[in-house]
Structure 1
Amino acid sequence: MESGADEVVFDCDDYRIYRSGKMDRLCRPAREPTGLDPATGVTSKDVVLDPDTGVSVRLFLPTSPDPSKKLPILVFYHGGGFLVESAVSPQYHNYVASLAAAAGVVAVSVEYRLAPEHPVPAAYDDAWAALSWAASAQDEWLAEHGDSARLFLAGDSAGGNIVHNVLIRASFQPAPRVEGAILLHPRFGGNTFLEGEVEAKAKDMAMIWEFACPGAVGGADDPRMNPMAPGAPGMENLRCERMLVCAGEKDWLAARDRAYYAAVTTSAWRGSVSRGGVAWIESEGEGHVFFLKKPDCARAKELMARVVAFIAGA
């Protein structure tokens, strides 16, 4: 039995957290190389945004049937609980390349800093900086092929949480116009358990959040983790024109994601009553971010088609 500072307080396939605040990353995925992906016809490259912090992005440019046609720009934030994963891992490289090809977008996948070495809000700050950079079209791919007037945000799990917080931040400081936001199984929590939540899992997720964000006010009721907590900015502050919220029926986050969707639809958010506003898709029988693990299954293809349709405005 371990005790004291060496006691393990959380253990999973990807990482192990100790009471001392130390963390072991148990899964360190290889870095997927950039270049032309024969499977999708998408070309990728890496761009460093800040040499001091190491924040970078991986850009994905699909083969366009009409080189003169400008493509929507999609800024993507990967998941991993703010603790693990990467924009350049095979899992996220392959997913974003497939999304860029299917939707016909120039994708900007963000390599933000991870906790505990860089506690939250570092991830939010990096996400904001990447959005501002993408909208400014400083890179030649974005300048030549991207349409900054059609800007989208997307993210899975912790990345979906980041999307929400970037949209809230955009209501308090100057920001580019965001046409649409796609929240894929977004990671939210709270101190009060919801119907359908597994209490032990919710407690673990609250502990992980406080580990990633030691300055969290109110634990899992910190407004950045619980958008419906007392004192959290109202959903009317969301700064995007349209939204797609996605959940998995058997995901441990499903109850939170349904509550988030309900809160948006019943709010005074301008998008909730215009142009179809906020849309919802729940993948029957599927768990958390299943589309990353089983990209070729029927439900993953169905979800991809819905995301592509959303970007197209359908």
Structure 2
Amino acid sequence: MDSTTSEILHDFVNLMRVYKDGRIERFEGNDIVPASVDPITGVQSKDVEIAPEIGVGARLYLPANADRQHKLPVLVYFHGGCFMIQNPFSKTYATHLNALVSQANVVVVSVDYRLAPEHPLPVAYEDSWVAIKWVASHFKGDGQEPWLKDYVDFERVFLSGDSAGGNIAHNMAIRLGSEKFDGINILGLVLNHPFFWGEEPIGNEGAETNYHSKVLMDRLWRFVNPSTVGSDDPMLNPAKNQDLPSLGCSKVLVCVAEEDLLRDRGWYYYEVLAKSGWKGKVEIMETKGENHVFHLYNPTCESAVAMVKRVATFLNQRED
């Protein structure tokens, strides 16, 4: 291989490498597993096309005990990976969502949105919006997907995601605050270690030991979103979004991890949302001694099991 071919333009360690000749190496999300019936939980999964003309699809999950007579909540899930790696079909997400579907007894639509840098932001946001509209198109018994038509209670729709997927879920809820769909109720939002940031450091972000991490986060955001105004972009820093009080759901659960660089941003989101004038209820769960998206990399540990249980409880709480 000659020096021109092997020259690196962008190197995000353990995530992605972009070479001068245009080649892209992704270091996570390559372990694709087929849709199936999970032998541990009995959860069924299948892959569907949502907008094949642009490459948007999803993996759907159905609990083992699903019954057409008892409609279930539906969770629209957005995977993480800094907007540039991972997908709904990797072993990481199959394992996590099989466990969550089994515990919470919900239908899940795990969205396959297009990734940067081939498809820089806002493509992932637009793809995710297409997926939400596709889910909503089934609420009158219309649409082509029987798992949505036959099993879903469209008064109990949730959005969720981890890391970059948490960012997407939040921004979809912001958009739903102004662009509502008839017949579908976005009841809640679950943000797992969401990727939020800002120009001015808060909490431990300002520590000298985190200087290089701050530079990396700023650089990563500009890499996946070249048209951004910077790290105070309202899509990245919710505190800068004037539409925050109009968040289009009635309750939010924010999950953070004690050792995560993004921990303070999760707490900041919780505090800013609670004071914004938004009329809903926001809760927060902090997991001690754990790091960013630990539940994906160590799904059977005690902390991960407890986190899934808390999310399941949130999804099934009936409103007063």
- TM-score if structure 1 supplies the norm length? 0.92
Q: Is the 8 A contact 1:135 1:151 kept in 2?
A: no
Deviations for 1:189-211, whole angstroms, at most 9, x for unmatched residues? 11111121122212201111111
The residue matched to 1:279 in structure 2 has which SS?
strand
Report the Cα offset of residue 128 of structure 1. Answer: 1.1
The 5 A counterparts of 1:150-299 are: 150-175=156-181, 176-197=184-205, 198-217=210-229, 219-229=230-240, 232-271=241-280, 277-299=281-303
The 5 A counterparts of 1:1-314 are: 6=7, 8-17=9-18, 23-64=24-65, 66-137=67-138, 138=143, 139-175=145-181, 176-197=184-205, 198-217=210-229, 219-229=230-240, 232-271=241-280, 277-313=281-317
The residue matched to 1:196 in structure 2 has which SS?
helix
Deviations for 1:209-243, whole angstroms, at most 9, x for unmatched residues? 111011102x11111011113xx224212100110
In 1, the alpha carbon distance for the partners of 2:21 and 2:82 equals: 19
The 3 A distance-change label for structure 1 pair 19 and 280 is farther
Q: Is the 8 A contact 2:51 2:57 kept in 1?
A: yes
Structure 1's unaligned 5+ residue stretches are: 272-276
Q: What letter is aligned with 1:188?
A: F
The residue matched to 1:154 in structure 2 has which SS?
strand
In 2, the alpha carbon distance for the partners of 1:22 and 1:227 equals: 34
Aligned-CA RMSD value: 2.0
The 3 A distance-change label for structure 1 pair 54 and 65 is closer
Q: What letter is aligned with 1:168?
A: I
Q: What letter is aligned with 2:216?
A: D
The residue matched to 1:37 in structure 2 has which SS?
coil
The 3 A distance-change label for structure 1 pair 20 and 195 is farther
Instruction: Work out the number of aligned pairs and report it.
Output: 304
The 3 A distance-change label for structure 1 pair 28 and 246 is closer
Report the Cα offset of residue 17 of structure 1. Answer: 4.5
Report the Cα offset of residue 28 of structure 1. Answer: 4.8
Q: Percent identity?
A: 40
Instruction: Find the counterpart in structure 2 of residue 274 from structure 1.
Output: none
The residue matched to 2:239 in structure 1 has which SS?
coil
In 2, the alpha carbon distance for the partners of 1:65 and 1:55 equals: 26
- TM-score if structure 2 supplies the norm length? 0.90
Report the Cα offset of residue 36 of structure 1. Answer: 0.9
Q: Is the 8 A contact 1:9 1:17 kept in 2?
A: yes
In 2, the alpha carbon distance for the partners of 1:15 and 1:106 equals: 32
The residue matched to 1:296 in structure 2 has which SS?
coil
In 1, the alpha carbon distance for the partners of 2:102 and 2:136 equals: 20
Report the Cα offset of residue 248 of structure 1. Answer: 0.3
Q: Is the 8 A contact 2:58 2:112 kept in 1?
A: yes
